[in-house]
Amino acid sequence: MPCTGGTMMGMLSAHDTITRLGGLARGDHLQQLGFTRTQLSRLVARGQIERIRHGVFAVGSLDDDTRTALAHGGALCCASVLQRRHVWLLVSPAAPHVWLGHRGRPLPHPQCACVSHYFRGPVPFGRTGIETALVQYRSCCGDEAFFAAFESAWRSGLLTRAARARIRSRLPGTARWLVDLARPDADSGLESLLRLRLHILGIHLACQVEIRGVGRVDFVIDGHLILEADGKINHDGVTMRHKDLVRDAAASRLGYETLRFDYAQIIHDWPTVQAAILAARRRLRRAH
């Protein structure tokens, strides 16, 4: 029957095909769709498509880390994927993290500084999803780093309930309590780390507490001790410092003691932070 209601479409070009595949395509897939190796080589020579490595083609803009991971022979993963999604990282990647699979081998490429991972399982094409990246990040950087990243991703709306359950199921049984402890309201990774470390000490924290005349504070211990984790974004500058002092004075009038800790203290001098919190608890308990 004749075609009515529209014009007949011509064959897709290799460029259009790769675009519809998300900007990346394997050579063998393109050959299955009718493009010969000779045709692909000619298109590369004309600059119409790009060969990332043997058997991998791209069109359009491709971020440098994903390009490097493909050239390395694997998929962008772990901390590098989390960094792209703006997840708070305790340990930020200095070079692309690349998943090569259990038996994969890195391919030589210029200026390689990649961190190779050999996790089991099927390696995706291009980069992993955020669920896999979080599970890998725990194996790579530890429980604390995972916990802070997990809470950050949850707060940012990147993890559905089903996603959180899947991540939990993929963790070792001894690490699943980290997901159970996590909350979606941590304002920063510093808050996540502080709460995790005090939980391990058996200290219960009331989180994101609204105090009349003071405002919302990060944590309250024993009803009288306020803890604030001051990240650079919300507490830098003379104006913000003044607001913090006003809040602390208002809290003092109501019978609270406030302890503030910045990034350097929580990350690099935790023993001093812990000692200050424990001493303040003892002091306030005696007073009350």
Domain ranges of the chain: 15-62, 64-183, 185-287
What pLDDT does residue 232 have?
56
Distance CA 161, CA 166 (A): 9
Single-letter code of the amino acid located at 203: I
Q: Which residues of the chain have pLDDT under 70?
A: 1-11, 232-239
Query: Are 25 and 50 contacting, i.e. CB atoms less than 8 angstroms apart?
Result: no
What pLDDT does residue 1 have?
42
What pLDDT does residue 56 have?
93
Report the side by side order of strands in the sheet with 56-58: 24-26, 56-58, 50-53
What pLDDT does residue 244 have?
81
What pLDDT does residue 156 have?
97
Q: Which residues pair with 258 in a beta bridge?
A: 226
> How many CB atoms within 10 Å of residue 174?
8
Tell me the pTM. 0.86
Among the four given CATH numbers 3.90.1420.10, 2.60.40.10, 3.40.960.10, 3.40.190.10, the one describing domain 185-287: 3.40.960.10
